[in-house]
Amino acid sequence: MKFSWRVLLLWTFPALVIGFFFWQGAFAGAPADMSKNTANTRMTYGRFLEYLDADRVTSVDLYEGGRTAIVEAIDPELDNRVQRVRVDLPTSAPELINKLKEKQVSFDAHPVRNDGAIWGLLGNLIFPILLITGLFFLFRRSSNLPGGPGQAMNFGKSRARFQMEAKTGIKFDDVAGIEEAKEELQEVVTFLKQPEKFTAVGARIPKGVLLVGPPGTGKTLLAKAIAGEAGVPFFSISGSEFVEMFVGVGASRVRDLFKKAKDNAPCIIFIDEIDAVGRQRGAGIGGGNDEREQTLNQLLTEMDGFEGNTGIIIIAATNRPDVLDAALLRPGRFDRQVIVDAPDIKGRLEILKVHARNKKLDKSVSLDAIARRTPGFTGADLANLLNEAAILTARRRKEGITLTEIDDAVDRVVAGMEGTPLVDSKSKRLIAYHEVGHALVGTLLKDHDQMQKVTLIPRGQAQGLTWFLPSDEQGLISRSQLKARITGALGGRAAEDVIFGSAEVTTGAGNDLQQVTNMARQMVTRFGMSDLGPLSLESQMGEVFLGRDWMTRSEYSEAIAARIDAQVRTIVEECYQKAKQIMREHRSAMDRLVDLLIEKETIDGNEFRQIVAEYTDVPEKPQYVPTL
C-alpha cells in the first residue's frame, strides 16, 4: 500500500488533541510530592478530631497549603496498629495548629510545588508547535500538486514539459510508412545541428512546421523522433494547456514558454492539437472566446513579431487544419505544412515490419498479405491490429501468431467483438440470403471490389458481414465503380425482396441504405455524375464550423433541389433493379451458397467464386500487386 502523508496527518491530529486534554487533566492540580505520600484510606475531619482528642494521632503531614493532611493514627479496631489515612481539611480551621501543639503531635507543612504549572505551560506550547508543524508538511506536499495552494503564484507560468536532451527512445528509423514527411523533418534536424550549411547559401531556418493528418497517422510520433534525433532542448505542450477560464492567463503562459525557449535556444517547441488554441478568431455565433483569442494573438506575436526568435523551431500537430486562423498558417509563422496521411500499401508493410519486431510470428504469416488486406489503416490501427493478434495468440495458448489470429484481429478491429453464433432458424436463413446477396453482386460485377469472405458470425451490431478488398489504392474512383458499389450495397435488400417477397423485407438493410443514399447524392451534388451536368452544388464540409459557414453555404433553387432528389432516386432505383435481376438469374447458385453458409458459417472468397463459376462466368478482376 502506498504511504500517504495526508492519511497520517488526518489520523494524527485528532489523536494529538485527545491526548493533550487527557494529559492536561492528569497533571493539572496534583503536586509532585503527593505521589510519594499517599494513603489508601480516607478519614473524615470529624473523626480525625475525635482521634486527636483521644491522643491516637502520632503525626500529621500537611499538603496543598493546609487543605490536605496525611495522618498516622493508632486504630483500636486494628489491634492498636498505626494506620496512614488521608484527611481533607476545611479551609477555615486556624485552631487546628494550636490543638496539634497542645497534644504534642508531630506535624510538618510541605510547601506547594509548581510542577503542575510547568507541565501546563509545556502542554500549551507543545500542542500548537505540533499543529503548526503538521500543517507545514501538509501544505508543503499539497503545493507540489497541480492546482495546489503553492501553484497560485505560478498560475501564469508555462506548463510545458522541458527536457534538455529529449531521450524519447524514438529515432527516424522507428517511424515507417511516411517517408515524405520524414524527409521534410530530417531537414529540420539538420537545420538545428548544422545551421551554417544552409546559412552559407542564404537559406533561412524555418520558424514553424505544421503536421497535418488524420488521427493515428504518426504526427506525435514524428515529433518524438525529431526530439530524439536533434539532441537539443525540447519543450512539449498541448494546445489545451494554454487556455484557462481567466482572461490573460493563456497569453501569459505563451510569453513564459517563449522566454524559456529563448534562454535555451536553439531548441524545439512542440504544440500538440494546436487547433485548441489556434482556431479562427471571431468565428463563433455571437463572437469568439476572449481568452482563446488573446492567447492566439500572443502566439502570433511571439512566432513572428518585432522581436525574432532565432534558433527556435515550432512544430505543431492537428487533424483539423480547416479551422485554423489564416494568420497562423502564413509563411513566417508556419513556413511548412507537412501532410501525414494514411500510408499506402508500401507504407503499411514498413509499419508492420516495425511493429512485428517484438512479435513471435508463425512462418506462414505474410506481412505483405496483411498490408494488402488493410487499406485505409493508419499506423495506430496497424499497431493495434498486431497487438490484438498477439493477445488472441496468448489466449489460445499458441507459440506464435498465425494467419487465423491475424484474420480474427482484423475482424475485431474493423467490426467489433465476436458475438454468439446464431442458431439454425428462419432468422439465420434470412441473414444468410442477405449476406450472400451482397457477395453475389460483388462477385458478378466487374467494376466491384474483390470479395474476400462472407460470414454469419455476429460482430458488433452486425448479425452477418461480407468483406471486400479494393483491387488497388484507389485515390480516384470512376462512375462505374461507384454504381457497382451502390448495386453491391443493395444486394442484401434485393435478395430479401426476391426470395421472401416485398412484404417480408427487414430492417437489416438500414445501414446499407444510408451508404447508398450518401454515395448517390455525392455523385449528383459533388462529382457531377448525373444529368445535371458537371456542377458542384454542395460544399465538401459536412458540418457548420461555429457559425462561420452559416451564411456562406452553397445555395440553389427549389427546382434544382427537386432535380437533385430525382437524380438520386433514379441512380438508386437503377442499381436496385440491377441487383434484383442478378438475384433472379442466379437463384440456384444463391440457394446452394446459402445452404453452405448456414452449414459452415464462413465462406472464403476463393471458395465462393469457385461455386459461382459452376453456374456462370465470373469476371476477371485485377489483383493489386504492390511495387516494393
Nearest to 413 by CA among 424, 405, 403, 422: 405
Nearest to 423 by CA among 461, 459, 467, 456: 456
Q: How many CB atoms lie within 10 A of CB 127?
A: 17
Sheet holding 465-469, edge to edge: 465-469, 450-455, 602-604
**DSSP states of 141-202 as a string?**
HHTTSTT-GGGGGGTTS---EEESS---S--GGG--S-HHHHHHHHHHHHHHH-THHHHTTT
Nearest to 225 by CA among 182, 278, 271: 182
Check 183, 435, 473, 573 and give the catalytic one.
Answer: 435
CB 138 within 8 A of CB 6: yes
Residue 603's Cα: distance from chain center in Å? 39
Active-site residue, 405 included: no
CB 589 within 8 A of CB 613: no
Q: How many CB atoms lie within 10 A of CB 511?
A: 13
SS3 424: coil
Q: Which three cell numbers stand for residue 496?
A: 430479401
The bridge status of strand 267-272 relative to strand 234-238 is parallel
Q: Which helix (H) or strand (E) holds 266?
A: none
**DSSP states of 506-533 as a string?**
-GGGHHHHHHHHHHHHHHHHTS--STT-
Q: Which residues are annotated as catalytic? A: 435
